[in-house]
Structure 1
Amino acid sequence: MKRAYTAGTLVDATLVADWLDSNGVPCEIFHQNAVGALGELPVTPPEVWVRRDADLSLALRLVGEVVFVDEDGEQQCQQCGEESPRGFDICWQCQTALRS
């Protein structure tokens, strides 16, 4: 087994593992239960490992295709100038579409 990805969160590790599995690369998530023990154990982030060493290069390529969108921050409405959270699709003030 070889490590293909070290995740920031268990959710990210699960998304990557599901992506790899759906593309024919069997894998396992390690340290998934260590997240709940923060403060008691050393911090060990979740890791995705491929079961077959020969799949590592394919897994790394597939991991590179995964895009994690950072929805933090704000965006300005072009219609009214109001700031809305970046995750919003329409302006909360005037209901104008914020994304095309």
Structure 2
Amino acid sequence: MRYEDFEKALESLQIVSRTTPAELKYKYQKLSKKYHPDMPNGDEKKFLEINEAYKVIQEYMKNFRFQLNEEEFHQQNPFSNRPDDWFKSFNS
């Protein structure tokens, strides 16, 4: 997969920021229903583009390697720095 393909897939599914697999699936289902050829305003070309974009992004998410460092951990868990974090009580 080239970055250009990935970028086009993000554009096709209207994804502008980080997303989870569940959010990706929701966005895909919403757009594929809108553009399905059997729908009144369906567009087969756009529908096929959305399907391909979904496959590209799914493949990327499946193969993505996390950095596993503290900075990424705090980005993924914004409340992890709270002093009253209940997870810290398990380490006491």
TM-score (norm 1): 0.30
The structure whose residues are more often helix, as a share, is 2
**TM (normalized to structure 2)?**
0.33
